[in-house]
Amino acid sequence: MRLLSLFVAALLTIPLASRLGAQTRTVALTIDDLPFVTGEDKPLLPVDAMGAQGANQKLLSSIARHHVPVTGFVIQKNVEEMGSRAGTEILREWTQRGSDLGNHTYSHPNFNDLTIEQFEDQIVRGEASIVPVMKAAGRRVEFFRFPANHTGDTREKHDTVAAFLAQRGYRLAPCTIETSDWMFNAAYVQMLNSHDKASASRLRLDYLAFTAAQIDYFPGLNHQAVGYEPPQIMLIHDNQLNADVIEQLLALFEKRHYRWVTLSEAEKDPVYQIPETLITMYGPMWGYRWARELNVKVDGSLEPDPPKWVTDYGKQTPAPARRPQSEF
Ligand SMILES: [Zn+2]
């Protein structure tokens, strides 16, 4: 109740003009796992650098054409694996085109498996490339995103690392819409590798249809949780699939009359002042966290599922459950 009152009080302090402004739908785009993630169950290699460059070019030109401000979250180990020079060059292109970079740890570990000390070390080592690249662009690294949004599975881990991040000057990067793109991409890359063009083209269409369904689902969840539609924060990954469909993916938001905003601008909405205190081994989207925090009952089973033929395709890359059915 105390949190709810805080939230309502924060909402009432916003001038009427900006509350009316808030009726315009806004969304911030965040792209994780820079400089590239293959979707295969093996590390990046220097030989992957060329493909990564091509994919990043596609992403960056569409983003520029649609005037989308983006925050990219970097895995330092991926920078090193593809060759620091090639990896850093990609990061530099992002900042030169005006995008911000955030910390996504050194090697993208599962926080559930690490101690506090190990995870803090991941945060510090995650700064190796992003800090100098952002500094060269005259900017400061502001945001941190937990791998798989695992924000801490015990109270001690959650609160200690949250305090460590704040002390190092980080703000948490939440997200409100996801689209299981890592899973679609794992299947997609297998299709491309085996020259199965028919399946790859069917997958692209099904991925966009699923993404459209997710873009329509999460605002309803968020509205139910907090009583209005806050600025959305979309999460996708720097992979081949998104590079190949980015034009159509951006259009999904534009058709629904969303205006692109920066992550900082989205976070100005009072909803992002609701404390993030959930202790869980899963990584639910923020609508579920707000609902929990404000004691609003929501039904996570209403969230669309990706098509079965995609989830069944070949050997899937193991990944944590995206939605804790038992909890939400
Ligand atoms: Zn990630």
Amino acid identity for residue 6 in this structure = L
Q: What is the mean pLDDT of residues 239-258?
A: 98
Write down the mean pLDDT value for the chain. Answer: 91
In percent, how much of the chain has pLDDT > 90? 84
Closest CA relative to residue 55, chosen from 208, 236, 240, 250: 240
Provide the CATH topology of domain 2-311.
TIM Barrel (3.20.20)
Distance 11 CA to ligand 1 centre (A): 32
Residue 145 Cα to ligand 1 midpoint, Å, equals 8
| Separation of CA 147 and ligand 1 centre (Å) | 5
* pLDDT at residue 51 greater than cutoff 60: yes
How many CB atoms lie under 10 A from the CB of residue 117?
Answer: 9
Question: Ligand 1 centroid to 33 CA: how many Å?
Answer: 5
Instruction: Give the start-to-end residue ranges of the domains of the chain.
Output: 2-311
Tens digit of pLDDT for each residue in 128-151?
999 999 999 999 999 999 999 999
Q: How many CA atoms lie within 13 A of 1 on its CB side?
A: 0
Q: How far is the CA of 185 from the centre of ligand 1 (A)?
A: 13
For residue 126, the CA-to-ligand 1 centroid distance in Å is 13
d(CA 148, ligand 1 centre) in Å: 6
Over 80: is that where the pLDDT of 114 sits?
A: yes
What is the Cα–Cα distance from 83 to 47, expressed in whole angstroms? 9
Ligand 1 centroid distance, CA of 261 (Å): 21
Measured in Å, residue 8 CA sits from the centre of ligand 1 at 33
- Residues 6 or more apart from 176 whose CB is under 8 A from it? 218, 222, 230, 232, 233, 234, 285, 286, 287
**169 alpha carbon to ligand 1 midpoint, in Å?**
21
pLDDT one-digit tens code per residue, 54-67: 999 999 999 999 99
Q: What are the helix (H) ranges across the chain?
A: 2-12, 16-21, 49-65, 76-81, 84-96, 116-125, 130-136, 155-167, 181-193, 197-226, 240-255, 263-267, 286-293, 308-311
* % of the chain with per-residue pLDDT over 70: 88
- Using H for helix, E for strand and C for coil, what is the string for 97-154? CCCEEEECCCCCCCHHHCCHHHHHHHHHHCCCCHHHHHHHCCCCCCEECCHHHCCCCC
Strands 26-34 and 70-74: parallel
Instruction: Read off the pLDDT band of 326 (50, 70, 90).
Output: very low
Band of pLDDT at residue 102, cut at 50, 70 and 90? very high
Whether pLDDT at 302 is above 70 = yes
Res 22 pLDDT > 50: no
Integer Rg of the chain from CA: 19
Q: What distance in angstroms lies between residue 123's CA and the mean position of ligand 1's atoms?
A: 13
Would you place residue 12 in the very low, low, confident or very high pLDDT band (cuts 50, 70, 90)?
A: very low
CA of 117 to the centre of ligand 1 (A): 20
The pLDDT score that the predictor gives to residue 188 is 96
| Gap from CA of 32 to ligand 1 centroid (Å) | 5
pLDDT tops 80 at residue 2: no
Q: What is the mean pLDDT of residues 226-250?
A: 98
> Across residues 240-249, what is the average pLDDT?
98
Taking Cα atoms as reference points, which of 22, 42, 327 lies closest to residue 189? Answer: 42
Query: 109: CA distance to ligand 1 center in Å?
Result: 9
The arithmetic mean of pLDDT across residues 87-114, rounded, is 97
CA 232 / ligand 1 centre spacing (Å): 18
Cα(104) to centroid(ligand 1), Å = 7
**Interval 201-227 mean pLDDT:** 98
The Å distance, Cα 82 to ligand 1 centre, comes to: 17
> How far is ligand 1, taken at its centre, from the CA of residue 196, in Å?
27
Say which residues have a Cβ less than 8 Å from residue 135's Cβ, sequence separation at least 6: none
pLDDT surpassing 60 at residue 242: yes
Going from the Cα of 122 to the center of ligand 1, the distance in angstroms, rounded, reads 13
Mean pLDDT for 67-80 is 98
Phi, psi of 158 (to 5 degrees): -55, -55
